């Protein structure tokens, strides 16, 4: 029985593309993941949109249950998650709590998404 030689063809080596901007740090990615996790729930997206749609981007918790078939405690829980993620701020006025959008938080998310897509100012695709 003859032994045949196995011919191995060299494979081209992988050439990494040059880095044109700094990628997210582990810390920044962790912070952003928490914000995106808070936004990953359809009810929370609707609540954020409902608040942002109002004059001054502010709404009383009593107005936010309109059109959302959830109990007030459940809505309050979702608002708490959005607040803890840094997307909303709240203020108690008498017996009601008013929530407002934090524009800088939404701007930061927008900027990250634009940067990652390569369409942010100064970034070329």
Our count of domains for the chain comes to 1
CATH classification at residue 43 = 1.10.10.10
**Stated pTM of the model:** 0.77
Residue 20 inside a domain? The answer is no
Is 101 a member of any domain? Answer: yes
Assigned domain for 17 exists: no
Position 12 in a domain = no
Q: Are 68 and 46 in contact (CB under 8 A)?
A: yes
The three-point CA angle 52-58-60 to 5° equals 120
| Residue 98 counted as domain residue | yes
- Does the residue 75 lie in any domain? yes
- How would you write the pLDDT of the chain (125 residues) with one tens digit per residue? 566 777 777 777 778 888 888 888 999 899 999 999 999 999 999 999 999 999 999 999 888 888 888 988 999 999 999 999 999 999 999 999 999 999 999 999 999 999 888 887 654 44
For residue 95, being part of any structural domain is answered with yes
Which domain covers residue 64, as residue numbers? 35-117
């Amino acid at each position: 029985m003859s032994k045949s030689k196995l011919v191995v063809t060299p494979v081209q080596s992988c050439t990494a593309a040059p880095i044109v901007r700094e990628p997210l740090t582990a810390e920044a990615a962790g912070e952003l993941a928490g914000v995106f996790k808070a936004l990953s729930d359809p009810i929370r997206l609707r609540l954020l949109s409902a608040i942002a749609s109002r004059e001054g981007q502010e709404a009383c918790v009593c107005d936010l249950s309109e059109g959302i078939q959830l109990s007030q405690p459940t809505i309050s829980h979702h608002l708490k998650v959005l607040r803890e993620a840094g997307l909303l701020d709240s203020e108690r006025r008498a017996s009601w709590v008013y929530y407002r959008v934090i524009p800088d938080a939404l701007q930061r998310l927008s900027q990250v998404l634009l940067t990652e897509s390569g369409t942010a100012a100064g970034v070329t695709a």
